Amino acid sequence: MGQYYKICNLDKKEVINPHGLGSGLKLWEQIASYPGTGAALIVLLACSNGRGGGDLKYHPMVGRWAGDRIAVVGDYAEDGDLPEEFAAGSIYKNSEGWLDITSSVAEVLEKELSLRFIGTGWKDVLTYDTKLYWGGDSPVASEAYAKFIEWENSLGADVYDEVEALINWIVDSGLDVALAPWEIIAKPLIFSRTPKEIVADLLDIREGKLTLLGRSHFYIDRH
């Protein structure tokens, strides 16, 4: 199995959970995520914020960890990975009882970068570009995207993979020219179409049994 990492403050006994910042727990996932744990560390470690142009707005999280001893610790860590005093092999497990400041750091990133972390557990990042892709800044588009993520997270792995493949097929085939992805999937949820019905429609689109005729919802035209 892969190794999972947390960002740990060894002095303050505080921790960042990457899932709360829209990132996976593996090292590669963390360096590939935006804004992720890297941006969170910049916020926490800054030691002279507020003295020049381009600095961040005041928030108690900015500079909170400046000067502290910080470690990126995996669940496979062994005591010899850090100086003996830290007992590195126990940090990952022990950090479950430390203060989790992820949501507080997320507030800074949301305000400074004009984005939102939505959902529970492994959160999704709603950025400006994402909102454009899902239909713009309108309240309906935001609700649609949130509904889509909520629905997607509730699917079993087999159904999730099937839906992802179908969405990719629709986008690759050019059908998204008439209907934005949020309209294809999420907007019907708002108008009371069930996930089962939507999956059935997607399958029928791929097989040529169903034609999309409208922008507001599915108009069924079976051949």
For residue 23, give both structure tokens. 């990132």
Side-chain-facing half-sphere of 84: CA atoms under 13 Å: 0
DSSP assignment string, 36-81: HHHHHHHHHH-SSTTSSTTPPPP-TTTTTTTTS-EEEEETT--GGG
Q: Kindly tell me the sign of the dihedral angle through the C-alpha atoms of 43, 49, 53, 58.
A: positive
Strand, coil or helix: 173 = helix
Q: Tell me the C-alpha distance between 136 and 151, whole Å.
A: 20
Q: Kindly tell me the sign of the dihedral angle through the C-alpha atoms of 16, 137, 164, 200.
A: positive
Q: Tell me the C-alpha distance between 139 and 81, whole Å.
A: 49
Q: Given this model, what pLDDT does residue 208 score?
A: 62
Q: Tell me the C-alpha distance between 63 and 48, whole Å.
A: 8
For residue 149, give both structure tokens. 């993520």
Quick: pLDDT tens for 32-67: 988 999 999 999 999 999 999 999 999 999 999 999
What's the chain's length in residues? 223
- Give me the residue spans of the domains in the chain: 5-114, 127-206
What is the DSSP-derived secondary structure letter of residue 2? P
Choose from 71-80, 123-132, 171-180, 198-207 the range with maximum mean pLDDT: 71-80
DSSP assignment string, 14-44: EEE-GGGGT--SSHHHHHHSSSHHHHHHHHH
Under 8 Å between Cβ of 72 and 5: yes
pTM score, whole prediction: 0.61
Cα distances (angstroms) measured from residue 17 to each of 1, 41, 123 = 19, 12, 11
Q: Tell me the C-alpha distance between 7 and 40, whole Å.
A: 10
Quick: pLDDT tens for 79-117: 999 999 999 999 999 999 999 999 999 999 988 987 778
Residue 128 has pLDDT above 50, yes or no: yes
Q: Order of strands across the sheet with 14-16?
A: 70-74, 5-9, 14-16, 99-100
